[in-house]
């Protein structure tokens, strides 16, 4: 590959092409991540409805701890920073718990629909 900057502000066409290829790949990965998160939240919504119907707590500390440990191991195996993976999972867990609390509240108030 040639120099990325010729000093005149022009970007080498080969560099521009490589950037476009890499960015297209990143965009595809981002789309896949969004779709996978949507599927995950569909499943957790069903869990929330099941928990609410059976008066189970919205959060499960033991399950969360197992999931965090599992994700940290997966991250290490994938050469991803386990601390980052844990922060990411904690963010998702917090959102899931918020959803489960809302579902439980709606169920108590008679506003929740039956499970999807």
> What pTM was computed for the model?
0.76
Residue-wise pLDDT tens digits, 35-69: 999 999 999 999 999 999 999 999 999 999 999 99
Q: What 8-state DSSP symbol labels residue 3?
A: -
Residue-wise pLDDT tens digits, 60-99: 999 999 999 999 999 999 999 999 999 999 999 999 999 9
Burial letters for 4-21: b for 16+ Cβ neighbours within 10 Å, e otherwise?
eeeeeeeeeeeeeeeeee
Tokens of 17: 């092409």
Q: Which neighbouring-strand residues pair with 11? A: 5
> Closest by alpha carbon to 102, among 52, 38, 39?
52
> Closest by alpha carbon to 73, among 89, 50, 60?
89
């Amino acid at each position: 590959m040639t120099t990325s900057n010729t000093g005149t502000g022009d970007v080498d066409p080969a560099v521009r092409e490589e950037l476009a290829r890499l960015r297209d790949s990143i965009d595809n990965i981002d789309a896949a991540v969004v779709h996978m998160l949507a599927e995950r939240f569909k499943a957790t919504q069903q869990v929330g409805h099941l928990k609410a119907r059976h008066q189970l707590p919205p959060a499960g500390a033991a399950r969360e701890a197992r999931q965090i440990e599992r994700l940290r191991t997966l991250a290490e195996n994938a050469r991803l920073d386990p601390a980052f993976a844990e922060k990411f999972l904690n963010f998702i867990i917090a959102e899931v718990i918020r959803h489960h609390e809302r579902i439980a509240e709606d169920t108590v108030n008679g506003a929740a629909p039956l499970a999807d």
